[in-house]
Amino acid sequence: MAPAADYEGKTIQEVRFDPPTQPVARADLARLVPLQPGTPVHLSEVREVIKRLYATGRYSGIAVEAEPNAGGVALVIHTVEQWFIGPVEVSGKVHMPPNEGQLGNAARLELGEPLEEDDLQGAVKSMRDLLERNGLYLATVVPKLDRDSEHQQVAFTFTVNSGKRARFVLPVVMGDTRMPPEELAGAAKYKKLWFFGWKYATEDNTDRGLNNIRRKYDKDDRLTASVSLDHMEYLQDQNRVRPHIEAEGGPKVKIQTDGAKVSKKNLEKYVPVFDEQTVNRDLLVRGVGNLRDYFQNKGYFDVEVDFRTKQVDPDHEDITYLVTPGERHKVVRVDIAGNHYFSTDDIRERMYIRPAGFLYLRHGRYSKGFADRDGDNIEALYKANGFRDAKAAITLVDDYQGKKGDVALTMTITEGAQYLVSAIAVDGITRPDKPQILARLASVPGEPFSETNVALDRDYILNVYYSAGYPDAAFDSRFSPGPGPDQISLHYIVNEGKPRYVRDVLLSGLHETRHRLVDPNILFKPGDPLSWTRMGYMQRRLYDLGVFDKVDMAIQNPQGDTENKYLLYHFVEGHRYYTAVGFGAEIARIGGSQTSLNNPAGTAGFAPRGDFEISRLNLWGLGHSLNFKSRYSTLDRRVSLNYLAPRYRNVEGRNISFTGLYDNTRDVLTFTARRIEGSAQISQKLSKPTTIFWRYTWRDVVVDTSTLKINKLLIPIVSQPARIGMIDANLVQDRRDDPVDAHRGVYNSADLGLVEHFFGGNKNFLRFLGRNSYYKTIHSLYVLAFNTEIGAIHPFHVTPGVDAFNYVPIAEHFFGGGSTSHRGFPDYQAGPRDTETGFPLGGNALFFHTEEFRFPLIGDNINGVFFHDMGNVYSSVSSISFRVHQQNLTDFDYMVHAAGFGIRYRTPVGPIRLDLAYSINPPTFHGLKGTYQDLLNNTAIPAIQNVSHFQFFFSIGQAF
Amino acid sequence: MQKKSSRYVAWALLPAVSTFVSTRGAGFRQERRNGRQECPRHIIAAVLLFLAPLSAGVIDRVAVVVGNQVVTETEVQEEVRVTEFLNGEPVDLGPAQRRAAAERLVDQQLIRNDMVTGGYSQPPAGEADKMLADLKEERFHGREPEYRATLARYGITEAELKEHLRWQLAVMRFTDARFSPNIPREPAVQTANRMRAGAAPAPENGVEQQLEAWLKEARSNTRIQFRKEAFQ
C-alpha cells in the first residue's frame, strides 16, 4: 500500500468510481461519499467512506487509490460488487429419494444472503453427498448460474440426473462385536426375502439396517451396544455398495424387577438405559424415579424403589430394581388451601393430580413427580401475576377419615405479597404515537408486576416497529425495587434501528402459475415500509392460494446498511395431479335382500366399497382445480366432476364451483334411485366463522320401479320422474374449537331452498333445514354436547288430486335416523312407512335432538359417551309431535327416544366410534313376508314388523 | 464506576480489556461460518489482480470484514502504532504485528456492536483528557516537545491517541456493566434473583473469562474474513 500519510492534506482534484456504474443509488452515493473536489484529503474521511460503502452490503471489496496530479490528487474508489443468492431450483431426472426439495435444501444456499466464493462448490458437493447417501453414485449435478446484474442476484439451476441406483451387498461389521460379525451382517437385512435380491442403498434402508442390528443386540440383552455406519464402499464395477459398520456389543445387561411385576414394555419406557444405550448410575437413578412415579400413579404411594447391579462375569451384568410397593391407596380428595387471588377451580384446572373417578383413574393420579410439577405450575401462575414469593406444596394425609388406604391431598398455597409496578420508564421511542404505544402496554403502574407482562410488552413494542419497517428494532428491559415495599420499577430501552423501505419485490419460481393469480397478493410496492409482519401475512396469503408447496421469503442483503431493500419471494409450485384410491366397507343395519320384503327395518349387513379420485390442480395457472370422483359399492355407484375456482375475482373467501353428478343409490331400503345432477355454487366467507353459500341445482331423479317396495297402487305415483330446479342459500357459522372432535363452541347452519318450475323442474316446494350444535367443557375433562335439527318441506301449487306428501318426490323427502341423527333407528329408517310393506317413505318434516355427555374412560385416548336421542321424521310440519306413544300401526308421527352408551378411541383422523343404543319406543308397523314378486302378485304374507330396540353403529368421528 | 489509574490502563490495561485491546496473540485464524470457509478467494483474487498495478497509489482498503462492517488497513496500522506507543515498544509494522492488531480490532468491533445494541453509555470526553494528561505526566513528566516528537516518531496524532484512550475507557465501562459479578449479564434475571429471599448468589466468574467466552461466542456468530493482501 502507498504511504497513505503522504497524501494527508493534499487537495482533492477529482473523485471518481471504478467502475463508473455503482449498485448504490446516486443520491445514496452522494451521502455515503462526502469527499469533494477542492477540499483536502483526510485519511480518516477516506476510512469512513470505505466503512460506509461496505456497510451497504452491496460491495465485496473496496479500495481507495490516490493519483497524484498537478494540483493535488485524484481519488479513485475501486469497488467490486457483491452478488446475492437468488432462487435455487432443481430439475432433471430425479429419482426419489431424495426429492427435488431435499436436494435444494442440501445446497444450503440461503435466499438473499451474500454469495461467497465457495458456496457453489459447497452446494454441488452437498447435493452429491446426499445423492450418494441414497445410492445414486452415478448421478450428475450440473449447476447453471443466471446472473441478474440489475439486482446483483444469482439464480441457481441444478440439473440432476440421478442415474441408476446402487444396491447393497453384504455389509462388513467391525469392532468388538461380541456376536459373530456374519450373523450381524445378515441381521441388517439388506437383502430382501428369498430370491428378490438386494435392497436399494438408500439412506433410509441404511438406517433401517443399523436399527435391525441394534434390535438384534437388544434381543441378546446387549443394551449398551453401539452400532454406527463407518463408511460406504462403492463397488464401481458392479454399481453396488458395501456398508462398513462399526459395532461394539458391550456386555449382556439384564434388567428386571424384584418385588413387583413390571412388563418389559414398561421397563423399556421407564428405565432410560434402554434409550440411552449406556449404563451409568445417573440413568439407573432416573429409572428409580420413573418407576416410583409409575407405581405411585397406580396407587402405591408408599412404594420404595432401589436398584442393585451385579457383574456376573465380564460379559454379563444384572440390574435388579427392588420394588416394595407397600399398600395400595386411593386419592379420595384433592383440596386447595390458601388461595385468595385465584379461585379453586382456576387452580384445579391447572393440576395434573386428580382424585379417583368411577371408571377413569380408579385410584386417582398422584406421584411425587406429579406433585412437584403441579407445585411448580401453580407457583408459576402466581409469579406471572406479581406474587414473586408465592409457594405451592402438596401435603398428603394417609388413611383419611380412618379409612385404610384412602389418601387426601392438599395443595397449600402461600401467596405472599403481590408486587406492583411503581413506575415504567420507556426510553428510545421517538415515534409520534408514543403515548398510544405506552397506553397499550400490559405493565401498568399500580397493577401487578409480572415477567409475562414484560414479555408481552416486548412483543407488542417490537411488533409495532417491525410492522412499521424497522426490522432491526431491539428491546431491553431492566427492573429494580420500587420506592415502596413490594414495588418494582420498570425500565424499557428501545433501540429503534433505522427505517427500511422496499426497493422492489422480486418473484421467482412461477413456471405454471400466472402472475394474474399471484400479483393481487403482493402487498408491497417500492417505497413501502419494510414490515416483517406484513411480509409474513403476505407469505400466508400466498400459501393460501393452495398452489405452492413452498413459499420462501427473504430480504436481499439483510444485514446491509441500505435504506431500500429488495424483497424476495421464491415459489415452489405443487404437483399438478393428485390421485387417490381407497377401499372400505360399511357395517351397519343396511342389509336385507333387495328382492325380499322380510326386513323393512334392515338387518346387519356389510357393504364393501372402492373409491377413486383424480384431480388436476392449478388449472390454467390460476389455482383452479378439476376433480373427478367415483365410488362403487353394493349400495352406491357414483361419479362426479367438480370445477372449483377459488378466490373468484381475487376476493378473499369467495369461491365458485360447478359440479356434475351421476348417482345410483340404494341408501334407503325402500327403493333405488338414479340421479343426474348439475349445480353451480358461489360461496363467500363473511367472517372467520361464517360462510354463506348460494347454489343453483338441477337434478333429474328416476326411481327404479322394480325396486319400490311399497303398495303397488302407489308405485305409478311415486315412480314418476322428478325434475328439480332449485336455488338455495346456506348460512354456516362454525365456532367449534375442533370440527373433528369439538370440546367447546357452537355450530349453526340454516339452509333454505326454493324448488320452482321457473328454475327448470316440474315440482314446487320450499325446503328448510336448520341445525344447532353446542359444546361445553366442564371441569376440563367432561364435555356436554347438544345437537338439534329441524327440517320442513312445504309444497305449493300442488297438482290437483295429489296429496302434499306424495307430491314431493320420494327421493326428495327427508330421511333420517342412524349414527348421526337418531341412534334409535338404523340409517334412514325414521319416519313414515308404507302401510302395506312397512318400508320407510321419508317425510316432509324432521325434528331431532341429541344430548351427549362425553367423559374420559380409560387412559388419555379412550373416552366414553352417554347419549339420549329424541325425534323423528314426520309426514308434515303440522304433524311434529312430542307424543311418545305410537297410537296405532300406521302412526309414525310421534317422538322416538333412545338412550345409549358409546366408546370413542382417539386417532389422528378423529375418534373411532362405537355406539350401542336402546330405543325406548321404536315403531311397530304392518309389513309383509315374501318377495318383491309376491308383492306384485298379492301373495305376500302380512306380518307385524318393528324396528329393533337395540341398534349399534361403528364409524369414524363424533355423532355431531 | 471503579476508578483506575491512567498508568494501569495505559501500560498493563485492565486484564480483561487487555486481551482484546493490546495483547491478543498473533496466529492466523480462518473463521468459518456454518462449516464453510468464508474467505471469498475469487473476490480477493479479483481485487488483487485489479489493484496490484495500482498498489503504489492505494491509500486505504478493506483489511478485515466483520459481519457487514470492515476494518481498514490504515486502522490496523494505527492500532499497531498506538499500542506500541503505549507499551513503549519500537515501531514495528510487520505482518505479525498487523495481524495481532487486526484481531484486537475485530474484538473491538464486536464490543462496539453490542454497546450500540445494549444502549451502553460512553464516557464523558473529560475522562479521556485526564487520562491523556496523566499519561503525559507519567511518561514524559510534562516535557511537551519530547511527547510530540515521540508521537511523530510513531506516526500518530494526539487526536488518535486520545480517541484510543477514550475507547479504552468505554470498553472498561462496558465490561463493568456487562460482566461484573455484581451486575448480571441479564439485568432482569439478576434482579429477580436478588429479590428471591434466600436464593443462592449467582456463581461468580472472572470478568476476563466471561468476556473471553462472550467474544468467542460473538466471533462464532459473525462472518469474519481477513483479506490476505492487507497482511502481506
Interior angle at CA A824, CA A596 and CA A923, nearest 5: 60
DSSP H/E element including A606: strand A603-619
Domain ranges of chain A: 4-81, 84-161, 167-248, 252-324, 330-414, 420-495, 501-573, 689-956
A689-956 and A420-495 share a CATH fold: no
Across the interface, do B192 and A474 touch by the CB < 8 Å criterion? no
Distance from C-alpha of A466 to C-alpha of A654, rounded to nearest angstrom: 31
* Residue A859 contacts B where some CB pair is shorter than 8 Å: no
Contact partners, residue A549, CB within 8 Å, separation at least 6 = A101, A572, A573, A574, A575
DSSP H/E element including A773: strand A765-778
Q: Which residues of B touch A62 (CB under 8 A)?
A: 61-62, 70
Report residue A517's pLDDT band, with 50, 70 and 90 as the boundaries.
Answer: very high
Q: List, for residues B38-71, the tens digit of each pLDDT value.
A: 344 444 444 443 444 334 488 999 999 998 899 9
Higher pLDDT, B23 or A442: A442
Distance from C-alpha of B60 to C-alpha of A47, rounded to nearest angstrom: 7
Amino acid at A855: F
Average pLDDT of the residues in A869-884: 95
- What's phi and psi for A266, nearest 5 deg? -70, -35
Look at residue B215 and tell me if it is in a domain: yes
* Residue B187 contacts A where some CB pair is shorter than 8 Å: yes
Q: What is the DSSP string of A171-210?
A: PEEESS-SS-HHHHHHHT--B-STTS-BPB--HHHHHHHH
Short-list A880, A916, A875, A877, CA closest to A895: A880
Q: Which triple of cell numbers denotes residue B157?
A: 496524532
Contact partners, residue A237, CB within 8 Å, separation at least 6 = none
Taken in order A875, A881, A887, A889, the sign of the CA dihedral is: positive
So what's the pLDDT on residue B172? Answer: 86
Give the closest of B59, B65, B187 to A65, CB-based: B59
Look at residue B38 and tell me if it is in a domain: yes
Q: List, for residues B85-119, the tens digit of each pLDDT value.
A: 999 899 899 999 999 999 999 999 999 888 887 77
Average pLDDT of the residues in A632-645: 93
The CATH number assigned to the domain holding B165 equals 1.10.4030
Across the interface, do B62 and A428 touch by the CB < 8 Å criterion? no
Kindly report the nearest CA distance between residue B191 and chain A, in angstroms: 6
Kindly report the nearest CA distance between residue A60 and chain B, in angstroms: 7
Q: How long, in residues, is chain A?
A: 960
Report residue A920's pLDDT band, with 50, 70 and 90 as the boundaries.
Answer: very high
Average pLDDT of the residues in B169-184: 74
- Least confident span in A2-6, A357-361, A456-460, A489-493: A2-6
Look at residue B118 and tell me if it is in a domain: yes
Residue B123: Cβ within 10 Å count: 19
* Residue A52 contacts B where some CB pair is shorter than 8 Å: no
**Residue whose C-alpha cell is 400479483:** A519
DSSP state of B8: I
Short-list A863, A846, A862, CA closest to A854: A863
Give the closest of A1, A80, A389 to B47, CB-based: A80
Distance from C-alpha of B85 to C-alpha of A55, rounded to nearest angstrom: 31
Evaluate the omega torsion of the peptide bond into residue A432 and state whether it is cis, within 30 degrees of 0: no
Share of chain A above pLDDT 70, in %: 99
Q: Which triple of cell numbers denotes residue A445?
A: 403502574
So what's the pLDDT on residue A2? Answer: 59
Tell me which fold the domain A252-324 belongs to.
Ubiquitin-like (UB roll) (3.10.20)
Q: List, for residues A639-648, the tens digit of each pLDDT value.
A: 999 999 998 8
CB B84, CB B90: distance < 8 Å: yes
DSSP H/E element including A466: helix A451-467
So what's the pLDDT on residue B231? Answer: 86
Q: Which residues of A touch B196 (CB under 8 A)?
A: 388-389
Give the closest of B34, B56, B74 to A43, CB-based: B74
Beta-bridge partners for A334: A409
- Beta strand pairing status for A240-248 and A172-174? parallel
Across the interface, do B46 and A61 touch by the CB < 8 Å criterion? yes
- Give Cα B218 distance to the centre of its chain: 14
**Residue whose C-alpha cell is 446491509:** A560
CB A701, CB A717: distance < 8 Å: no
Q: What is the DSSP string of A342-372?
A: S-HHHHHHT---B---SSSSTT-B--HHHHH
Contact partners, residue B164, CB within 8 Å, separation at least 6 = B82, B86
Look at residue B100 and tell me if it is in a domain: yes
Cα separations (Å) of A519 from A151, A510, A515?
20, 11, 5
Look at residue B115 and tell me if it is in a domain: yes
CB A366, CB A297: distance < 8 Å: yes
Report residue A551's pLDDT band, with 50, 70 and 90 as the boundaries.
Answer: very high
Taken in order A504, A508, A514, A517, the sign of the CA dihedral is: negative
Strand, coil or helix: A818: strand
DSSP H/E element including A287: helix A281-297
Q: List, for residues A270-298, the tens digit of each pLDDT value.
A: 999 888 878 888 899 999 999 998 998 88
Q: Which triple of cell numbers denotes residue B118?
A: 445494549
Distance from C-alpha of A105 to C-alpha of B191, rounded to nearest angstrom: 44
So what's the pLDDT on residue A442? Answer: 93
> Mean of the per-residue pLDDT values for chain B?
71
pLDDT greater than 50 at residue B223: yes
Give the closest of B37, B42, B57 to A2, CB-based: B57
Average pLDDT of the residues in A775-792: 93
Helices marked H in chain B — which ranges?
6-7, 15-21, 41-51, 73-87, 95-118, 125-140, 144-154, 158-179, 187-195, 207-220
Report residue A591's pLDDT band, with 50, 70 and 90 as the boundaries.
Answer: low
| A167-248 has CATH 3.10.20.310 classification | yes
Contact partners, residue B86, CB within 8 Å, separation at least 6 = B10, B11, B22, B135, B164
So what's the pLDDT on residue A323? Answer: 95
- If one looks up domain A330-414 in CATH, what number appears? 3.10.20.310
DSSP state of A893: -
* Residue B61 contacts A where some CB pair is shorter than 8 Å: yes
So what's the pLDDT on residue A148? Answer: 94
Q: What is the DSSP string of A24-90?
A: S-HHHHHHH----TTSBP-HHHHHHHHHHHHHTS-EEEEEEEEEEETTEEEEEEEEEEPPEEEEEEE
Report residue B3's pLDDT band, with 50, 70 and 90 as the boundaries.
Answer: very low
- Least confident span in A345-354, A406-415, B118-127: B118-127
Chain pair A-B, CB pairs under 8 angstroms: 133
Q: Which residues of A touch B157 (CB under 8 A)?
A: none
Record the pTM. 0.76
Average pLDDT of the residues in A619-642: 94
Taken in order B78, B80, B84, B87, the sign of the CA dihedral is: positive
Domain count, chain B: 1
Look at residue B54 and tell me if it is in a domain: yes
Q: Which triple of cell numbers denotes residue A80?
A: 467490486
Average pLDDT of the residues in A490-510: 93
So what's the pLDDT on residue B205? Answer: 57
* Residue A80 contacts B where some CB pair is shorter than 8 Å: yes
**Residues of A503-540 as b/e, b for ≥16 C-beta within 10 angstroms?**
bbbbbbbbeebeeebbeebebbeeeebbbbebbeebbe
CATH superfamily of A420-495: membrane protein fhac (3.10.20.310)
* Residue A61 contacts B where some CB pair is shorter than 8 Å: yes
Q: ipTM score of the complex?
A: 0.72
So what's the pLDDT on residue B122? Answer: 79
DSSP state of A707: G
* Residue B34 contacts A where some CB pair is shorter than 8 Å: yes
* Residue B75 contacts A where some CB pair is shorter than 8 Å: yes
Taken in order B58, B63, B69, B74, the sign of the CA dihedral is: negative
Cα separations (Å) of A121 from A124, A281, A498, A571?
5, 47, 35, 24
- Least confident span in A427-431, A883-887, B18-22: B18-22
| A4-81 has CATH 3.10.20.310 classification | yes
Short-list A314, A214, A300, CA closest to A257: A300
* Residue A57 contacts B where some CB pair is shorter than 8 Å: yes
pLDDT greater than 80 at residue A811: yes
Across the interface, do A388 and B65 touch by the CB < 8 Å criterion? no
> Mean of the per-residue pLDDT values for chain A?
91
Q: Which triple of cell numbers denotes residue A542?
A: 400466498
pLDDT greater than 70 at residue A895: yes
* Parent domain of B22: 6-231
Give the closest of A7, A63, A117 to B42, CB-based: A117
So what's the pLDDT on residue A30? Answer: 86
Interior angle at CA A804, CA A803 and CA A805, nearest 5: 95
> Which of A912-921, B28-37, B190-199: highest mean pLDDT?
A912-921
Q: List, for residues B29-40, the tens digit of each pLDDT value.
A: 333 333 333 344
Short-list A870, A541, B199, CA closest to B191: B199
Q: List, for residues A307-363, the tens digit of each pLDDT value.
A: 998 988 888 989 999 999 988 899 999 999 999 999 998 999 889 998 988 777 788
| A501-573 has CATH 3.10.20.310 classification | yes
Q: List, for residues A168-202, the tens digit of each pLDDT value.
A: 999 999 999 999 999 999 999 999 888 789 999 99
So what's the pLDDT on residue B5? Answer: 35
- If one looks up domain A689-956 in CATH, what number appears? 2.40.160.50
Q: Which triple of cell numbers denotes residue A318?
A: 444384572
**Residue whose C-alpha cell is 379420595:** A332
Short-list A953, A720, A940, CA closest to A838: A940
DSSP H/E element including A849: strand A845-858
CB B169, CB B10: distance < 8 Å: no
Contact partners, residue B143, CB within 8 Å, separation at least 6 = none
Q: Which triple of cell numbers denotes residue A304?
A: 420404595
Across the interface, do B43 and A118 touch by the CB < 8 Å criterion? no
| A84-161 has CATH 3.30.420.40 classification | no
Q: Which triple of cell numbers denotes residue B209?
A: 473469562
Report residue B181's pLDDT band, with 50, 70 and 90 as the boundaries.
Answer: low
Distance from C-alpha of A388 to C-alpha of A308, rounded to nearest angstrom: 43
pLDDT greater than 70 at residue B193: no
So what's the pLDDT on residue B185? Answer: 41
Look at residue B1 and tell me if it is in a domain: no
Amino acid at B95: P
**Candidates A47, A125, A389, A475, partner chain B, best to mutate (most B CBs within 10 A):** A47
Distance from C-alpha of A358 to C-alpha of A360, rounded to nearest angstrom: 6
